[in-house]
């Protein structure tokens, strides 16, 4: 692959994302990205300081609205639950598209301007609803935990996967509730699972 004339942050991020897509986040390295770009590893250091900066660039790329990241405009007439739901659903959709990047979305959230803007948008919704101090911090962390935890759960243990099928086939005399719940769970779509769970989470957060 010929070396690009100028390595922009977007080109670097796309190369790093390609590596993660093939090899997972553990496969990301300066050498792997340099190989993806068709250049020497040491030359790459002219553009980035190391793997941590590459990870931040990937997070910024994935969350950039101009690159398909979540739109932060949720309007002014909706109640806070609707606004928080839209922001959560949009972030979940992006993370679901790149499940291998999910750990980086959490680990590098402080180093990505688009991650910070999404967080500010969600906190603004909570603040407008009257959340403040520790209550706002806990509400924010709870929503973030649900959004990105749901991505990991769907990626590693989907309801339509082998794990649910194995649990559904357990002896009902020994595991009556597990087996029955798994049989019901197999009928739930990923979108329905996420949205129903999100509604429960936000309903709980709304209780003072």
In a domain, 4, yes or no: no
Whole-model pTM: value is 0.85
How far is 49 from 123, CA to CA, in rounded Å? 31
Q: Is the predicted pLDDT of residue 81 greater than 90, yes or no? A: yes
Residues 59, 90 within the same domain = no
Residues 61, 123 within the same domain = no
Long-range Cβ pairs for the range 24-32 (8 Å, 24+): 24/100, 25/55, 25/100, 25/101, 25/103, 25/104, 28/54, 28/55, 28/58, 30/54
Residues 115, 194 within the same domain = yes
Average pLDDT of every residue of the chain: 92
Residues 36, 117 within the same domain = no
CATH code for the domain of 17: 1.10.10.60
In a domain, 3, yes or no: no
The residue among 19, 46, 65 that closes a domain is 65
Tokens 């770009």 label which residue?
37
In a domain, 199, yes or no: yes
Task: Please provide the size of the chain in residues.
Answer: 208
In a domain, 15, yes or no: yes
Residues 116, 162 within the same domain = yes
Residues 74, 166 within the same domain = yes
In a domain, 1, yes or no: no
Q: Is the predicted pLDDT of residue 134 greater than 70, yes or no? A: yes
Residues 59, 130 within the same domain = no
Q: Is the predicted pLDDT of residue 185 greater than 90, yes or no? A: yes
Residues 15, 108 within the same domain = no
Q: Which domain holds residue 15?
A: 9-65
In a domain, 124, yes or no: yes
In a domain, 29, yes or no: yes
Residues 20, 61 within the same domain = yes
The residue among 41, 65, 89 that closes a domain is 65
| More confident of the two residues 12 and 208 | 12
CATH code for the domain of 124: 1.10.357.10
Residues 89, 177 within the same domain = yes
pLDDT one-digit tens code per residue, 85-132: 999 999 999 999 998 898 898 888 888 899 999 999 999 999 999 999
pLDDT one-digit tens code per residue, 35-76: 999 999 999 999 999 999 999 999 999 999 998 999 999 987
Predicted confidence at residue 5, as pLDDT, reads 53
The residue among 65, 88, 113 that closes a domain is 65
Average pLDDT over every residue of 141-149: 95
Question: Total structural domains in the chain?
Answer: 2
Residues 128, 78 within the same domain = yes
Q: CA torsion sign, 41 to 47 to 50 to 52? A: negative
Residues 180, 79 within the same domain = yes
> Within 10 Å of residue 152's Cβ, how many Cβ atoms?
14
Average pLDDT over every residue of 174-201: 95
């Amino acid at each position: 692959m010929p070396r690009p004339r100028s390595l922009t942050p977007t080109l670097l991020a796309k190369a790093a994302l390609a590596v993660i897509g093939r090899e997972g986040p553990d496969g990301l390295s300066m050498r792997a990205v340099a190989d993806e770009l068709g250049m020497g590893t040491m030359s790459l250091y002219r553009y980035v300081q190391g793997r941590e900066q590459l990870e931040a660039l990937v997070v910024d790329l994935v969350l950039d609205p101009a690159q398909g990241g979540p739109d932060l405009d949720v309007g002014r007439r909706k109640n806070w639950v609707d606004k928080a739901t839209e922001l959560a659903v949009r972030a979940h959709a992006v993370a679901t598209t790149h499940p291998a990047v999910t750990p980086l979305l959490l680990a590098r959230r402080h180093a990505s301007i688009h991650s910070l803007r999404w967080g500010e948008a969600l906190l603004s919704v909570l603040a407008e609803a009257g959340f403040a101090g520790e209550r706002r911090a806990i509400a924010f962390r709870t929503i973030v935990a649900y959004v990105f935890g749901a991505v990991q759960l769907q990626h590693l243990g989907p309801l339509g996967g082998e794990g649910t099928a194995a649990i559904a086939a357990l002896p009902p005399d020994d595991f009556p509730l597990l087996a029955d719940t798994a049989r019901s769970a197999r009928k739930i779509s990923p979108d329905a699972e996420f949205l129903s769970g999100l509604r429960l989470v936000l309903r709980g957060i709304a209780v003072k």
